[in-house]
Structures are given as structure tokens and as C-alpha cells.
């Protein structure tokens, strides 16, 4: 998170907008302090209802889109880390992210359409996930669940979260936000079982970064 | 594990159970917004006051139909319903016509509508960014039009 702020400050370009959307069902109470710890000056959104992910058909976090001055998407839906992260040390270390996305982003902000990292319309539209009627219904069910949860009606929240998950089993977003609210959390045994299930279905949990590095 | 990966079981029950809206009211969810309607018709489907349509989904009633930007859906007696001398707009029939999925909890009087597929055709065919509207942490509404003439990175993340 602080890394995005560093990148934003380094670019220091009034014609570059960074919108960071936190998809925490816990809302401002959870996402707010994480934002605040980095003193961000870019646009921060707490997107409990996954409005951004729904609009761009993202299924996991972190995901991103680059939008040019004309409103055209020039990169979309790839695992989007500002840097390499590591939790723990030695054999227990958990490493994720990469150091090649941020330089590509900076190159695009500086060079625009001439950047080698801009993708063609065909490439972009090929990377946009198509949606089915069931996936759209899943969005509706998810938001219904969130409304019930916000009003302390856990039974109905769970009913509609489960409906969303069954209608769109490719959405890691819908499954993990629900895990977050269990004692086990979103990084426990259930999560690793989920990873295995995706692998056995031959599905990726998010599209790998399409950059050389 | 870092705090960012910790669970939030205390948030499972953030509040005492409380009603979603006042007695006799109806709630509509669309594009992340929550709209409370104080008056609806009775019977199958969701019948709303025609004057509520625009705040619900942005469509405006015009002589040529229910219109959003260049899209106009001609009205018929399935969409505009007379009930006890009052006119209602059948929002669920309209959604069916637009192939817009929805999920309803009728007992709680809540209808949650998905995006209208036609609104996404430019995204899927031409890679044009979809319109969206969110409110930032300072209370400012941010939408696609605000990005015109600028480059934008939109990135999602979560503590989980």
C-alpha cells in the first residue's frame, strides 16, 4: 500500500489518476486504517459492494485496469502488485507480488500510447471476462447479502452470499470476503482448500501478469 | 501473518439486528446504491411510482418510452400498470425485458438488481471503460466522466 503512494508521488502528474478501491465487507472500519497508515493522496474508495470489480468483471484482488485519456482500456485484469511482498522469514516466508508492474505503469504514464506496455484493443477485449446471466445474478445476490449483514441479519446474509458463490464459482472475491468474517479468516485451511479446488478445475484464481520480467 | 491477513470475526455481528427500512417501505439495490421507496403497488413484481424510476436506475420516462442515453424502451401496459386509479411502473417486468437479472427477498421487501447487460456492450466489444460511480472516503462521487482527458489506474485490493 505505501508503495502505491510512492509511485503516485514519484509520477507527480496532474493528468494521472489513481483510484484504489478496497473491497472489504468490513468497510471503513477495516480498510480505513490500512489506507490511513500510508497517508495516501490518491483517490481512496471503500467498495464494500464490489462496484468496481463488477463493472470491470474482476474476480479477485488485486486487479486493475489502465484507462487512457479517451476512456479506452489499455490493460486490464491481471494480478496487480506494486512490488514484491514477503511475510515471514526463511522457509516460512510467504512471498508474492513482483517488481515489474510498477515500472510498466510509470512507462505508460510518461509515454502514453507509445508505451510498449499498452495493449491492443483486441488484446484488451480478449482479456475482459465475459459474463453470464448467472454471474450478473451473483452480483445482485452479493449486494443483497451485504445489505442484510449491515443490518445484523446474518442468516439471510449467509443465504445470499452462498447464492452468489454458487452462481459465480469463479469469483474468489465472493468466497474470500465471506471467509474473512469467520474465525479461521481468509488465509486458513479453507483458503488453501479453495486454491486446490481451482487447480483441480484447471482455473486460475486471477490472470497472471502479462509482462516480461 | 501480517495484520492484513488477520480475520475479523468480531465484524460478523457488527450490529444488533435491525430492520432494513420502515414499515411498508421497499428497498432497491442497483449499482452499489441503496434506494428506499416509501410507496409501491401490490401484486406480483415490483411496482414503483413512475416518478421514482430515474432515481432507481437512471431511466427517464419520455413520450417515446423509458430512456437512458440513446436507449429508449417503448412503454406498454405490462410496464405501465393501472391499479386502483393509480399508475405504476413495473420494474421487474422492465428488468425482464432488458434481460437484467435480479434477486429479491420479497418477505423483506428488498430487490437487488444486477447491471443491465446492454450497458456493458461497449466494454466487451470495444474495450471502452464502463461507466461506474463510487463515493470516495472524502465523500466525493467519482465516476468515469471525471477521468476524461487523464490516464487512470483503477486497482482493487482487500485486507483479506
- Which residues in chain B land under pLDDT 70? 1-15
B18 part of a folded domain: no
Give the span between the Cα atoms of A83 and A87, in whole angstroms.
13
The verdict on A79 touching B (C-beta cutoff 8 Å) is: no
Q: What is the pLDDT of residue A169?
A: 92
Contact yes or no for B127 and A125 at CB 8 A: yes
Inter-axis angle of helices A154-167 and A133-150, nearest 10: 160
User: pLDDT over 90 for what percent of chain A?
Assistant: 64
Contact yes or no for B153 and A105 at CB 8 A: yes
**B83 by DSSP, 3-state: which?**
strand
Q: Indicate the residue of B100, B153, B158 with minimum beta-carbon distance to A64.
A: B153
Which range, A16-20, A151-155, A175-179, is most confident? Answer: A16-20
Kindly provide the residue ranges of all beta strands, DSSP E only, lying in chain A, ordered along the sequence.
Answer: 16-22, 43-46, 63-67, 73-76, 84-87, 94-97
Contact yes or no for A73 and B158 at CB 8 A: no
Give contacts of A140 with chain B, Cβ < 8 Å: 29, 101-103, 112-114
Sheet holding A16-22, edge to edge: A43-46, A16-22, B151-157, A63-67, A73-76
> Residue A209 has what DSSP assignment?
P
Contact yes or no for B158 and A22 at CB 8 A: yes
Give the span between the Cα atoms of B160 and A128, in whole angstroms.
24
Domain count, chain B: 1
Task: Tell me the three cell numbers of residue A51.
Answer: 462496484
The verdict on B153 touching A (C-beta cutoff 8 Å) is: yes
Least confident of A71-80, A178-187, B145-154: A178-187
**B91 by DSSP, 3-state: which?**
helix
Contact yes or no for B7 and A61 at CB 8 A: no
Give the span between the Cα atoms of B30 and B111, in whole angstroms.
9
B53 part of a folded domain: yes
The mean pLDDT of A21-40, rounded to a whole number, is: 92
The mean pLDDT of A87-111, rounded to a whole number, is: 89
Is pLDDT above 90 for A81?
Answer: no
Query: Which of B12, B123, B35 has its CA nearest to residue A55?
Result: B123
- Residues A2-30 have pLDDT tens digits of 789 999 999 999 999 999 999 988 889 88
Q: What is the pLDDT of residue B12?
A: 54
Alpha helices in chain B (DSSP H): 53-57, 91-98, 121-126
Chain A nearest-CA distance from B78, in A, is 23
What ipTM was assigned to the predicted interfaces of this complex?
0.94
Least confident of A34-38, A77-81, A93-97: A93-97
B74 part of a folded domain: yes
Contact yes or no for B9 and A137 at CB 8 A: no
B1 part of a folded domain: no
B85 part of a folded domain: yes
Contact yes or no for B137 and A128 at CB 8 A: no
Work out whether strand A73-76 and strand A63-67 pair parallel, antiparallel, or are unpaired.
Answer: antiparallel
Contact yes or no for A136 and B101 at CB 8 A: yes
The mean pLDDT of A83-88, rounded to a whole number, is: 84
Give the span between the Cα atoms of B103 and B39, in whole angstroms.
20
Is pLDDT above 60 for A1?
Answer: no
Q: Do the Cβ atoms of B135 and B51 come closer than 8 Å? A: no
B109 part of a folded domain: yes
**Domains of chain A listed by start with CATH number:** 2-127 (3.40.30), 133-200 (no CATH)
Give contacts of B36 with chain A, Cβ < 8 Å: none
Chain A nearest-CA distance from B65, in A, is 25
B4 part of a folded domain: no
Give the span between the Cα atoms of B143 and B33, in whole angstroms.
14
B155 part of a folded domain: no
Could you tell me the residue range of the domain that residue B119 belongs to?
23-147
Residue with cell 438488481: B113
CA nearest to B141 within chain A: A45
Q: What residues of chain B, 64 to 83, have a C-beta less than 8 Å from chain A? A: none
Query: Which of B55, B37, B57 has its CA nearest to residue B47?
Result: B37
The mean pLDDT of A112-128, rounded to a whole number, is: 96
The mean pLDDT of A39-45, rounded to a whole number, is: 97
Amino acid at each position: 500500500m505505501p508503495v502505491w503512494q510512492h509511485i503516485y508521488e514519484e509520477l507527480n502528474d496532474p493528468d494521472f489518476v489513481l483510484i484504489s478501491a478496497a473491497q472489504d465487507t468490513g468497510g471503513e472500519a477495516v480498510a480505513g486504517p490500512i489506507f490511513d497508515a500510508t497517508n495516501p493522496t490518491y483517490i481512496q474508495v471503500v467498495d464494500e459492494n464490489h462496484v468496481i470489480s463488477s463493472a470491470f468483471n474482476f474476480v479477485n484482488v488485486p486487479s486493475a485496469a489502465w484507462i487512457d485519456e479517451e476512456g479506452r482500456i489499455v490493460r486490464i485484469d491481471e494480478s496487480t502488485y506494486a512490488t514484491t511482498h514477503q511475510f515471514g522469514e526463511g522457509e516460512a516466508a510467504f512471498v508474492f507480488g513482483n517488481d515489474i508492474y510498477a515500472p510498466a505503469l510509470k512507462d505508460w504514464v510518461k509515454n502514453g500510447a507509445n508505451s510498449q506496455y499498452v495493449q491492443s484493443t483486441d488484446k484488451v477485449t480478449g482479456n475482459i471476462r465475459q459474463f453470464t446471466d448467472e454471474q450478473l445474478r451473483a452480483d445482485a445476490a452479493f449486494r443483497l447479502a451485504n445489505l442484510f449483514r449491515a443490518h445484523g441479519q446474518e442468516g439471510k446474509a449467509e443465504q445470499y452470499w452462498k447464492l452468489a458463490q454458487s452462481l459465480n464459482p469463479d469469483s474468489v472475491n465472493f468466497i474470500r470476503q465471506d471467509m474473512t468474517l469467520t474465525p479461521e479468516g481468509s488465509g486458513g485451511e479453507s483458503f488453501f482448500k479453495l486454491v486446490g479446488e481451482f487447480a483441480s478445475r484447471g482455473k486460475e484464481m486471477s490472470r497472471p501478469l502479462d509482462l516480461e520480467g | 501473518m501480517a495484520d492484513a491477513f488477520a480475520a475479523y470475526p468480531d465484524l460478523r455481528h457488527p450490529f444488533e439486528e435491525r430492520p432494513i427500512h420502515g414499515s411498508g417501505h421497499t428497498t432497491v439495490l442497483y449499482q452499489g446504491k441503496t434506494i428506499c421507496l416509501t410507496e409501491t403497488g401490490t401484486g406480483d413484481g415490483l411496482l414503483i411510482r413512475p416518478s421514482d424510476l430515474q432515481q432507481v436506475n437512471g431511466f427517464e420516462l419520455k413520450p417515446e418510452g423509458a430512456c437512458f442515453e440513446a436507449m429508449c424502451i417503448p412503454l406498454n401496459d405490462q410496464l405501465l400498470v393501472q391499479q386502483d386509479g393509480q399508475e405504476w411502473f413495473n420494474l421487474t417486468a422492465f428488468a425482464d425485458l432488458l434481460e437484467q437479472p435480479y434477486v429479491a427477498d420479497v418477505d423483506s421487501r428488498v430487490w437487488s438488481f444486477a447491471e443491465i447487460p446492454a450497458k456493458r456492450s461497449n466494454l466487451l466489444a470495444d474495450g471502452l471503460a464502463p461507466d461506474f460511480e463510487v463515493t470516495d472516503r472524502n465523500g466525493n462521487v467519482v465516476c468515469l466522466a471525471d477521468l476524461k482527458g487523464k490516464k487512470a489506474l483503477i486497482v482493487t485490493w482487500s485486507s483479506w
